[in-house]
Amino acid sequence: EDQVTQSPEALRLQEGESSSLNCSYTVSGLRGLFWYRQDPGKGPEFLFTLYSAGEEKEKERLKATLTKKESFLHITAPKPEDSATYLCAVRAGNTGKLIFGQGTTLQVKP
C-alpha cells in the first residue's frame, strides 16, 4: 500500500537554529514527490517538486533532497515567518492522485 510518513509531527526552533524535516514514503512507481507549505486556514502553497533520487532543489532558506525511500526538507537559519505546516506528498501512477503525509508543524521563535 502506498504510504507517506512525516516526522516529527511538531518542531520548535529558535530563530537561526537549522534543522531538517523528514518524509518517508512507500510507493510503487514514483512519479514525483512534492513539498508544500500551509499556513493556518489557507490552502497549501507549492514549494518543490522532486522526481529523481539524488535530486536537490533550493529556495531561500529551504532545501529539499530526495532518495529512493525518503525526502528531507532542510531549513537553514529559520526565521519566525517560516512557521507553518509543511506537507509532503507523492504521486504514484497516472491517476493524478497525491498521497499526503500528516505534515510537520514548525514553530520558529524569535
Partner 1 sequence: ETGVTQTPRHLVMGMTNKKSLKCEQHLGHNAMYWYKQSAKKPLELMFVYNFKEQTENNSVPSRFSPECPNSSHLFLHLHTLQPEDSALYLCASSQGLAGNPDTQYFGPGTRLTVL
Contact between 32 and partner 1 (CB under 8 A)?
yes
Q: Which of 89, 104, 106, 108 binds partner 1 (CB under 8 A)?
A: 89
Q: Which of 12, 31, 79, 109 binds partner 1 (CB under 8 A)?
A: 31
* Rounded Cα distance, 56 and 80, in Å: 24
Closest to partner 1 by CB, 29 or 110: 29
In the numeric block, which cell numbers belong to residue 60?
A: 531561500
Who's near 95: CB < 8 A, 6+ residues apart? Answer: none
Closest to partner 1 by CB, 45 or 58: 45
Per the CB < 8 A criterion, the answer to whether 57 and 42 are in contact is no
Closest to partner 1 by CB, 41 or 110: 41
User: Hey, what's the torsion of the CAs at 23, 70, 47, 94, to 10 degrees?
Assistant: -110
Binding site for partner 1 (CB under 8 A): 4, 31-32, 34, 36, 41-46, 49, 51, 87, 89, 91, 94-103
